[in-house]
Amino acid sequence: MPPLISATRAYRRLFSLPGSRAFTTGNLLARLPMGMFSVSAVVMIAGSRGSYALAGAVTATGLAATALAGPWIARLVDRHGQARIAVPATLLSVLGSLALLLCVRYGAPDWTLFAAYAATAATPNIGGLSRARWAHLLGDDPGALHTANSFEQAADELCFMLGPVLASFLTGTFFPEAGTLTGAVLLCAGMLLFAAQRATEPPPRAGSRARSPLRSPGLPPLLVCFTATGAVFGSMEVVTIAYADALGHRAAAGAVLALQATGSCVAGLVFGAMKPAGVRLGHCLAGMAALMTLPWAAAGTAGSLWALAGALLVAGMATAPTMVTAMTLVQRRTPADRLNEGMSLVVTGLLTGIACGSALGGWAAEHLSPTAAYAVPASAAALALGVGTLTGADRVPPRREADGTAVA
């Protein structure tokens, strides 16, 4: 069967499930602002206060708050259900975004910006909510769950690729607050539509005494792999901006980085149509470690932004398969009634890695050179491979029941 026909059939079967199209539509609407808020906040704050340092500090505070609050909110979702927790948490986050907008608009003290943006950390792990629904619907069909996880990863890449573009367009075409305002509306509308699909919602496990996901065998090494992978993302973004700026093409950095996301998005969709048998996390980590050397080589030998763009497109193709395979392992290793918390811990690991990678990549670009700084994402990918290999993180475990016991 031709690959295109096979892929079409795989995704057609996925979205033939009752309610799947409706909750996916709501989830995508709510997820798109995740790629908008940071860019919108930076443009809005820097334009009003004239300080990129302040804008960066505010967004970093929100990132740290999200990493801390995410697992706690996810635990409440597991115990009380998606609709009962995700909707009020989203409304609190939307109020935080609107408060930030008003504080910037009317010249409130700087500390109010930090407080308002920190409130946006209440945003639930929207991708995790959707993955939990797929796991609930497809728990007995590993092949279909693999396709669903691949689609979700591709959706992540698409939203984080389109979000900054949409935010830049809105803030530049209309007014500085337009990106934040639009993002808040999309987040609220999307979450209300998503939560309204009660037939596909996983049942809450309020009375469960399952142990913390952090105590699940094999999960801590996976979280370290996710942290190292986050460092790949964070450092690659900063280093690419620095490299484009050194060539006098800083405005093109966003488009170049979008090619990396495009490669990952396409690879994720293709990977989802493949049979997962035989493909292990170790293979994916090895591929990522190898391909992440391409941007370093292109920057060092060609000295051209076009060559770098091609290298990033190819390198990005390793990202989605790695994330999909690792996320599937997380789903298998996490007790069923702590699934949202387990996936939220993944986000915490990624955010931690992104923050560390951004800092290290920025230091290397400033104190060494933008070309030499491409060694940082390559090293982070090699670290992820080393952790996965030495700890046996890619061992395929049995599925865990709600109480943490293993089932065949």
Q: Are residues 141 and 270 in the same domain?
A: no
User: Does 221 lie in the same domain as 126?
Assistant: no
State percent of the chain over pLDDT 90: 32
Q: What is the CATH number of the domain that holds 122?
A: 1.20.1250.20
Q: Indicate if 232 and 150 belong to the same structural domain.
A: no
Q: Do 279 and 364 reside in the same domain of the chain?
A: yes
Quote the domain boundaries for residue 295: 211-408
Rounded Cα–Cα distance for residues 75 and 62 (Å): 20
Q: CB within 8 A of 284, min separation 6: which ones?
A: 318, 321, 322, 325, 326
Give the least confident one: 145-149, 208-212, 270-274, 354-358: 208-212
Please give the pLDDT value at position 275.
Answer: 64
Per-residue model confidence (pLDDT) at position 233 = 86
pLDDT of residue 395: 65
Instruction: For residues 109 and 36, state if they share a domain.
Output: yes
Model confidence band, residue 298 (pLDDT cutoffs 50, 70, 90): very high
**Shared domain check, 174 and 159:** yes
Choosing from 139, 174, 207, the residue where a domain stops is 207
Which range of 6-20, 60-74, 176-190, 200-214 scores highest in mean pLDDT? It is: 176-190
Q: Are 190 and 36 in contact (CB under 8 A)?
A: no
- End-of-domain residue from the set 185, 207, 229: 207
pLDDT at 228 over 70: yes
| Residue pair 318/291 in contact by the 8 Å Cβ criterion | yes
Model pLDDT, residue 2? 52
Higher pLDDT, 113 or 34: 113
- Same-domain pairing of 215 and 196: no
pLDDT in tens, 69-120: 988 998 899 889 999 999 999 999 999 999 999 999 999 999 999 999 999 9
Residue after which a domain boundary falls, among 145, 172, 207: 207
| Number of separate domains in the chain | 2
Which pLDDT score, from 0 to 100, does residue 155 have? Answer: 87
Cβ atoms of 272 and 146 within 8 Å: the answer is: yes
Is there a single domain that holds both residue 113 and residue 147? yes
Structure confidence at residue 402 (pLDDT)? 44
Q: Are residues 4 and 24 in the same domain?
A: yes
- The per-residue pLDDT of the chain, averaged, comes to 84
Q: Are residues 219 and 174 in the same domain?
A: no
- Same domain for 272 and 175: no
Cα 28 to Cα 14, 83, 162, 328, distances in angstroms = 16, 16, 12, 20
pLDDT on residue 245: 80
Closest CA to 236 of 335, 143, 321, 160: 160
Which of 69-83, 236-250, 271-285, 366-380 has the least mean pLDDT? 271-285
> What does the angle CA 282 – CA 343 – CA 333 come to, to the nearest 5 degrees?
55
The answer to whether residues 401 and 261 belong to one domain is yes
Q: What is the pLDDT of residue 106?
A: 93
349-362 pLDDT, tens digit each:
888 888 788 888 88
Cα 383–chain centre separation: 20
* C-alpha–C-alpha distance, residues 255 and 31, integer Å: 21
pLDDT of the residue at 290: 95
